[in-house]
Amino acid sequence: MLRYIFKRLLMMIPVILGITFIIFAIMSFTPGDPARLILGEDAPPEDVAELRNELGLDDPFLVRFVRYISDAVQGDFGTSYRNQKPVFDEIFDRFPTTFKVAFFGILIAVFIGLPIGILSAVKQYSIIDTISTVGAMLLTAMPGFFVGMLLILLFALKLNILPATQRDITFITTQELEDMYPDLTPSERENEYTKTHPTCFIMQIGKTLRSGKKHDGRAPDYDDWDLNGDIIFRNTVLDRAFEVSSMGIRVSPESMDRQLTLAGCDDRRKLPFHKALLAGEMPFTMGGGVGQSRLCMLLIGCAHIGEVQSGIWDEETVNLCKARGVHLL
């Protein structure tokens, strides 16, 4: 048995080398210049050429590949072109989550997939075999992230067996935040609170607090100030509070009536939309929006929104980001 295991381990070496060679070749011959990516599209050609020489990008392909393998064996996987951090550190930071996902995936395969496979083989051409075969084909055909969402929907939201997220979500009102941090500004309160509560929903945004100030502005004819809020995450790249969504129950006749008066906007009552809503002719609605670019920033680990969406940036911002290895689109 040990001899067999050792033989299989030895066979992994050429497989890993082959896969590494193919990926390295694809990345090397894919259009695009890493030096240009690091320095930005507006970098002078001489600066790009100098950086290419420093990185060894002008060396022959096989020389670069052998150098990469030699460094990798010693634990040096190079430096990320995107954020100028060691690749090993980037992998290590994400390894715990990857390990947990892989570990539980293997458990499911061993304790569920293996018995079903054995039963399917024993009961060949039976209804059990048919169901297991069709089920396996469907799960294989569907993208992993989609299967994951279906499992969250089933086990977390429908059956309430598992949590929907590994984070604890905290609900807090803007008044409670002000009471906790009376000497801080609203943004400073959010930043301080997310240090200990990295995922939270801050409620009742728009209403005037006991200090006479508002946490943030909300139109009096939009959300019900008592039934709205923002989803805030702790952005570990920026080390600060990070809003990804704003949502709430839209105004009812009663809440619009109250909020128009509080905001000093009674003149809006004559507008067609406001007249219809105040008369009870409009349906009750709720709404919200997820900032897709902000969510991408959070998931990918970006420092600037320009890394995930195109835009026009002033020269100072471009130069500042470039100096920190942040490439803006």
Under 8 Å between Cβ of 156 and 162: yes
Is residue 30 domain-shared with residue 102, that is, in the same domain?
Answer: no
Is residue 72 domain-shared with residue 93, that is, in the same domain?
Answer: no
- Model confidence over 14-58: pLDDT tens digits? 888 889 899 888 888 877 777 777 776 677 888 888 888 888 888
Under 8 Å between Cβ of 230 and 246: yes
Q: Which two tokens stand for residue 86?
A: 């060691």
Q: Which two tokens stand for residue 63?
A: 């020389």
Count of domains for the chain: 3
Comparing CA positions, the residue from 222, 227, 291 lying closest to residue 263 is: 222
pLDDT recorded at residue 41: 67
85-112 mean pLDDT: 80
Give CA angle at 247 (259, 207), nearest 5°.
Answer: 30
pLDDT recorded at residue 279: 93
pLDDT recorded at residue 163: 64
Look up residue 247 and give its amino acid. Answer: M
Judged against a pLDDT cut of 90, whether residue 86 lies above it is answered with no
pLDDT recorded at residue 241: 93
Residue 320 falls within a domain, yes or no? no
Averaged pLDDT score across all residues of the chain? 84
Compute CA 241 distance to the chain's CA centroid, rounded to the nearest angstrom: 14
Domain final residue pick, 82, 116, 140 = 82
Is residue 75 domain-shared with residue 93, that is, in the same domain?
Answer: no
Cα distance between residue 300 and residue 316, in whole Å: 24
pLDDT recorded at residue 214: 92
- Model confidence over 101-132: pLDDT tens digits? 788 778 877 888 888 888 888 888 888 888 88
Compute CA 91 distance to the chain's CA centroid, rounded to the nearest angstrom: 17
Residue 326 falls within a domain, yes or no? no
pLDDT recorded at residue 150: 76
- 239 compared with 85, residue with greater pLDDT: 239
Rg (CA), the chain: 28
The tally of CA atoms less than 13 A away on the side-chain side of residue 194 is: 24
Is residue 68 domain-shared with residue 92, that is, in the same domain?
Answer: no
For residue 298, name the pLDDT band (cuts at 50, 70, 90).
Answer: confident
- 93 compared with 58, residue with greater pLDDT: 58
Residue 149 falls within a domain, yes or no? yes
pLDDT recorded at residue 139: 77
Is residue 23 domain-shared with residue 43, that is, in the same domain?
Answer: yes
Question: Which residues are within 8 A (CB) of 76 and not within 5 positions of it... i.e. 6 or more apart?
Answer: 88
Containing structural domain, residue 102: 88-158
Percent of the chain with pLDDT over 70: 94
Judged against a pLDDT cut of 80, whether residue 303 lies above it is answered with yes
- Model confidence over 129-174: pLDDT tens digits? 888 888 888 877 877 667 776 777 787 767 777 666 555 788 999 9
Residue 303 falls within a domain, yes or no? no
pLDDT recorded at residue 277: 92
Residue 179 falls within a domain, yes or no? yes
Is residue 183 domain-shared with residue 238, that is, in the same domain?
Answer: yes
Instruction: Report the chain's terminal Cα–Cα distance, integer Å.
Output: 55
The string of DSSP letters for 79-139 reads: B-TTT--BHHHHHHHHHHHHHHHHHHHHHHIIIIIHHHHHHHHHTTTSHHHHHHHHHHHHH
281-298 mean pLDDT: 79
Q: CB neighbours (10 Å) of residue 158?
A: 9
- Model confidence over 182-236: pLDDT tens digits? 999 999 999 999 999 999 999 999 889 999 999 998 889 988 999 889 999 998 8
Q: What is the DSSP letter of 200?
A: E
Residue 276 falls within a domain, yes or no? no
pLDDT recorded at residue 275: 93
93-102 mean pLDDT: 78
Residue 163 falls within a domain, yes or no? no
Is residue 238 domain-shared with residue 188, that is, in the same domain?
Answer: yes
pLDDT recorded at residue 309: 85
pLDDT recorded at residue 179: 95
Judged against a pLDDT cut of 80, whether residue 244 lies above it is answered with yes
